[in-house]
């Protein structure tokens, strides 16, 4: 079994360098830093807002420089003693002057690197055809790369297409479109040929670039060598996610602005990102050369193909097994505080809390005894109807009960649930085995709250496709009745236990 996360690929052994990473609060930069540390490099990060990396696990292992890339003096000072500069900054802003500002910042960085004696600049640009009119953002990325290549410091400019990894904006657009729209009228660019690349392979090449032992000043196209149309990518995603094949109707118009607006409406990706993403899809994105193989060997086991990259992004291991813990299923293996709130799998949560004067241990007694003959503490008929429906459709239903009326252990059955985790006295997490268009969990927990307790329950649902989203909307009215009552009644049952115990002590 491959137990490495989706964004990990071990690179070749290399001499330690001192590196400065810009863009450490971004998707690639934030994931590159720990890989550089693992490779033995000394890492500095330059960030405008250190608060954005306050919770990252690698914070204490790096030197943080608070500055911006338009401060020439501060940048040159930060680059003192640095051998490799990773330039991973690219704005998704729009408007007049955008391209000029991006190029100006790159020129400033190139000059500061030369003045500080930096040996190499590493930049990640976009994969695009030659001699073709590019979108504003793709043209800007090409110009930034050319700025570094024409400077005094050697530059390695990687050109990558769609990056496949949970949290990557390009991947999230594929994910949300494929899951939301079983039938999709789409512009003509869905027929364009795309060579995607797994985020783990992008990071592998970026880390390896720091240790190239010969002068290099050129671009390298990098990709999976697995070429699909954009429509094919969405259908391959659907297959890997267990969804029916999507019907994609390619219309004979490009309509980038209209398509960008449509993406923003049907997915959580904001318009400020959907527009440049869609504009960048107006042309093929396929490697024109594979010269990188002459400089950096492919990762152990070879490059990650598209389907495997999708499986990893969905939280699957390469042998096809799926992670079952709700906390990490379908999200990036290393989620970061700087990740946008639209990144990762769509998750619906119904959360309820209830404060009471009851001792937490009495609340826990009720939690651990839930289900079976004790029931679910709210509208028994509604639970029974749902159980009958589940049984009729081939599910587990409510007839399985539980092994012991008071005690639970991981892996045990509780009606249509299975105990996924139990921290005795504190937390019980149940994974649903009922029939539903998605995956569901119920988490019950209690903690001290002054002289009493704070009870919390969370219903967590990962929808599968449009039917999963509609299912959640359909059950919301029932949740609004069942779950508040459940939290009140569990606390009331705990109070009854406490009263009985007090009465027994009194006699």
The CATH number of residue 355's host domain is: 3.30.530.20
Percent of the chain with pLDDT over 90: 46
pLDDT for the residue 442: 93
Same domain, yes or no: 22 and 128: yes
Window from 108-112, 332-336, 467-471 with minimum mean pLDDT: 332-336
- On whether the pTM is more than 0.85, the answer is no
Residue scoring higher pLDDT (254 or 496): 496
**140 and 82, same structural domain?**
yes
Q: Flag whether 326 is in a domain.
A: no
Indicate whether 394 and 308 sit together in one domain. Answer: no
Q: Which residue did the predictor score with more confidence, 326 or 146?
A: 146
Q: Within this chain, do residues 370 and 460 fall inside the same structural domain, yes or no?
A: yes
146's enclosing H/E stretch is helix 136-149
* pLDDT at res. 5: 62
pLDDT at 13: 54
293 strand-pairing partners: none
Question: Are residues 161 and 56 part of one domain?
Answer: yes
The answer as to whether 269 is a domain residue is yes
Q: Quick check: is 27 in a domain?
A: yes
Residue 306 lies in a domain: yes
Residue 164 forms beta bridges with which residues?
198
Domain count, the chain: 2
- Tell me if 45 is assigned to some domain: yes
74/78 Cα distance (integer angstroms): 6
Domain extent for 306: 18-313
The pair of three-digit structure tokens given for residue 77, joined into one six-digit string: 């000072």
Q: Are residues 192 and 107 in the same domain?
A: yes
Cα dihedral sign for 290, 293, 296, 298?
positive
| Confidence band, pLDDT 50/70/90 cuts, at residue 4 | very low
Residue that terminates a domain, selected from 313, 340, 363:
313
Q: Would you say 210 and 11 are in contact if contact means Cβ atoms under 8 Å apart?
A: no
Domain presence at residue 341: no
In this structure, the answer to whether residues 277 and 385 fall within a common structural domain is no
On whether both 134 and 247 belong to a single domain, the answer is: yes
177, 274 in Cβ contact below 8 A?
A: no
Final residue in a domain of this structure, among 287, 313, 339: 313
Task: Give the distance, in angstroms, between the CA of residue 98 and the centroid of all CA atoms in the same chain.
Answer: 28
pLDDT in tens, 201-231: 999 999 999 999 889 999 999 999 999 999 9
Shared-domain flag, residues 120 and 237: yes
Among 298, 313, 328, where does a domain finish?
313
Report the DSSP beta bridge partners of residue 87: 22, 123
pLDDT at residue 333 is higher than 50: no
- Among 115-119, 390-394, 429-433, name the most confident range: 115-119
Query: For position 217, which CATH number holds?
Result: 3.40.50.720
Q: pLDDT tier at 28 (50, 70, 90 boundaries)?
A: very high
Q: Name which residue leads in pLDDT, 444 or 325.
A: 444
Is 87 within 8 Å of 107 (Cβ atoms)? Answer: no
Q: With a cut of 80, say whether residue 256 has pLDDT above it.
A: no
157-198: pLDDT as tens digits? 999 999 999 888 889 889 888 888 888 888 888 899 999 999
Same domain as 429, residue 354: yes
In this prediction, residues 471-497 reach a mean pLDDT of 90
- Classify residue 129: in a domain, yes or no: yes
CA–CA separation, 334 and 481 (whole Å): 36
Is 342 a member of any domain?
no
Rg over alpha carbons for the chain, rounded to the nearest Å, is 26
Asked whether residue 109 carries a pLDDT value surpassing 80, the answer given is yes
Are 386 and 268 part of one and the same domain?
no
CA 249 from chain centre, in angstroms, equals 28
Which residues lie below 8 Å from residue 473, measured CB to CB, with a gap of 6+? none
Q: Residue 14's pLDDT is what?
A: 60
pLDDT digits (tens, 9 = 90+) for 66-75: 988 888 889 9
Average pLDDT, integer, range 377-396 = 79
Q: Residue 193 half-sphere exposure, CB side, CA atoms within 13 Å?
A: 10
Average pLDDT of the segment spanning 228-257: 87
């Amino acid at each position: 079994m491959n137990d490495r996360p989706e964004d990990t690929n071990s690179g070749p052994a290399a001499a330690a360098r001192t590196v400065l990473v810009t863009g450490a609060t971004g998707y690639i930069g934030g994931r590159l830093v720990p890989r550089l540390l693992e490779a033995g490099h000394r890492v500095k990060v330059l960030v405008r807002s250190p608060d954005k990396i306050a919770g990252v696990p690698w914070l204490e292992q790096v030197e943080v420089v608070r500055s911006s890339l338009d401060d020439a003096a501060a940048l040159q000072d930060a680059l003192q003693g640095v051998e490799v500069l990773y330039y991973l900054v690219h704005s998704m802003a729009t408007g007049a002057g955008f391209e000029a500002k991006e190029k100006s910042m790159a020129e400033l960085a190139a000059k500061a690197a030369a003045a500080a004696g930096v040996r190499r600049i590493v930049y990640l640009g976009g994969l695009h055809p030659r001699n073709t009119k590019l979108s504003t953002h793709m043209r800007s990325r090409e110009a930034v790369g050319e700025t570094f290549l024409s400077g005094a410091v050697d530059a390695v400019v990687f050109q990558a297409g769609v990056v496949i990894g949970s949290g990557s904006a390009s991947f999230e657009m594929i994910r949300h479109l494929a899951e939301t729209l079983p039938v999709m009228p789409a512009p003509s660019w869905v027929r364009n040929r795309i060579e995607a690349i797994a985020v783990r392979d992008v990071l592998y090449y970026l880390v390896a670039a720091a240790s190239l032992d010969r002068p290099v000043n050129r671009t390298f196209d990098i990709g999976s060598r697995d070429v699909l149309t954009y429509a094919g990518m969405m259908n391959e995603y659907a297959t890997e996610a267990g969804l029916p094949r999507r019907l994609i109707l390619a219309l004979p118009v490009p309509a980038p602005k209209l398509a960008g607006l449509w993406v923003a409406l049907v997915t959580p990706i904001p318009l400020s990102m959907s527009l440049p993403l869609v504009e960048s899809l107006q042309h093929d994105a396929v490697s024109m050369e594979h010269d990188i193989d002459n400089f950096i060997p492919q990762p152990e086991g070879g490059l990650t193909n598209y389907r495997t990259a999708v499986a990893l992004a969905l939280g699957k291991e390469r042998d096809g097994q799926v992670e079952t813990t709700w906390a990490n299923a379908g999200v990036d293996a290393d989620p970061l505080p700087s990740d946008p709130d639209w990144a990762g799998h769509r998750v619906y949560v119904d959360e309820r809390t209830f404060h009471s004067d009851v001792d937490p241990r009495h609340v826990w007694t009720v939690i651990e005894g839930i289900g079976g003959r004790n029931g679910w503490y709210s509208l028994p008929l509604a639970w029974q109807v749902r159980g009958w429906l589940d049984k009729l459709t081939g599910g587990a239903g409510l007839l399985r009960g539980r092994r012991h009326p008071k005690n639970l252990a991981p892996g045990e059955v509780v009606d249509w649930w299975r105990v996924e985790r139990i921290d005795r006295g504190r937390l019980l997490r149940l994974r649903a085995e009922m029939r539903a268009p998605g995956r569901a969990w119920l988490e019950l927990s209690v903690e001290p709250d002054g002289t009493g307790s704070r009870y919390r329950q969370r219903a967590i649902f990962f929808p599968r496709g449009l039917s999963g989203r509609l299912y959640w909307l359909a059950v919301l009215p029932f949740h609004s009745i069942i779950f508040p009552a459940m939290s009140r009644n569990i606390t009331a049952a705990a109070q009854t236990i406490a009263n009985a115990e007090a009465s027994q002590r009194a006699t």
